[in-house]
Amino acid sequence: MAQLRRHHADLRAAGGEVLLVCFDTRERAERYAQEQNLSFPLLLDPERRVYRAYGLEQGPLWRFLMPRVVLGALRMMENGRRVQRPQEDPLQLGGDFVVDPAGLLALAHPCQDPADRPSPAAIMAAVASSQVTTIGGDSDGQATTDARLR
Amino acid sequence: MALQVGDRAPEFTLPRVGGGAVSLSAYRGGSVVLIFLRYLG
Q: What is the pLDDT of residues B3-32, one digit of tens each?
A: 999 999 999 999 999 999 999 999 999 999
Give the Cα separation of A72 and A85 in Å (integer).
Answer: 14
Cite the beta strand spans of chain A per DSSP E: 17-22, 42-44, 95-99, 105-110
pLDDT of residue A64: 63
The closest CB to that of A50, out of B12, B25, B28, belongs to: B12
Complex-level ipTM beyond the 0.90 threshold = yes
pLDDT tens for each residue of A98-137: 999 999 999 999 988 777 888 888 888 898 888 765 444 4
Q: How many helices (H) and strands (E) does chain A have?
A: 6, 4
Least confident of A7-21, A24-38, A65-79, A89-103: A65-79
Q: Which residues contact A122 (CB under 8 A, 6 or more apart)?
A: A107
Q: Which domains does chain A have, with CATH numbers?
A: 2-149 (3.40.30)
* 3-state DSSP assignment of residue B33: strand
Q: What residues in B contact A82, CB-CB < 8 Å? A: 41
Cα of A49 to nearest chain B Cα, Å = 9
> A24 with A47: CB under 8 angstroms?
no
Q: Which residues of B touch A101 (CB under 8 A)?
A: 28-31
Vertex A87, ends B32 and A116: CA angle to 5°? 50
Closest-CA residue to A24 (of B22, B25, B14):
B14
What is the model's pLDDT at position A59?
67
- Residue with the larger pLDDT of the pair A64 and A14: A14
CB-nearest partner of B27 from A15, A44, A96:
A15
Q: Which residues of A touch B27 (CB under 8 A)?
A: 15-17, 99
Q: Residue A149: is its pLDDT beyond 60?
A: no
C-alpha B19 chain-centroid distance: 17
Q: Which of A100, A42, A94 is nearest to B28 (CA)?
A: A100
Q: What is the pLDDT of residues A22-67, one digit of tens each?
A: 999 999 999 999 998 988 999 999 999 999 999 997 766 666 666 6
**Phi-psi region at B20: left, alpha or beta (left = phi > 0; alpha = psi -120 to 50):** left
pLDDT confidence of residue A147: 40
Q: What are phi and psi of A91, to 5 degrees?
A: -95, -5
